[in-house]
Structure 1
Amino acid sequence: MRDSRRASSDMSAWCSAVVLLSLILLLSVRENNASDSLRGSQFSEKPCEEIYVVGEGETLHTIGDKCGDPFIVERNPHIHDPDDVFPGLVLRIAPFYFSRKVKHI
């Protein structure tokens, strides 16, 4: 009877260890997937190439928002009228990112 209890106790310990190890492994995989998706979004921060061709229905404002460049007119001296944007117009894009600087006191 004593051996039976010990065997039952050992089996219970092994099952608990397997369940715990499975949970750790599952959480680790989920964390890696989450960090991979964050890493992917870092690389996609610049959705536009340096040379951009205006598409149908786009404005300088929508292109600036999409590409992260609020200074499109300044970078493209061939644009004389910001309202005269048409499909096929070629623009130079340079994404502009605001950096957060923390001041230490």
Structure 2
Amino acid sequence: MGGSSSYSCVVESATWFCVVVLMGMVMMMGSMSRVDDGAIVIKGEKLGERRVCDEIYVVGEGETLHTISEKCGDPFIVERNPHIHDPDDVFPGLVIKIIQQQHK
């Protein structure tokens, strides 16, 4: 009978694990929504598309320092971001500091 008790413990642990994972997924989906064009929005922003040049800027897919500099009006991105060692090595998700010089 000891095996049956051990089996029940494993099943109960697995059930709780599944409940926790499911709750995490539900919470994540609660912060996401779909817009008319099918893009996923998190906290009001389309993923992969950033239109606002905030002081803290997250590089999007296909962006370069040159395109960000033109869009945001900050010609000194490399100087303001000492963690960028190679201006050609920019990737989506990279966080950079922007100071807008002009409005576009």
How high is the TM-score relative to the length of structure 2? 0.48
Structure with greater strand percent: 2
Q: Higher relative contact order by CA 8 Å / sep ≥ 6: 1 or 2?
A: 1
Larger helix share, 1 or 2: 1
Larger radius of gyration: 1
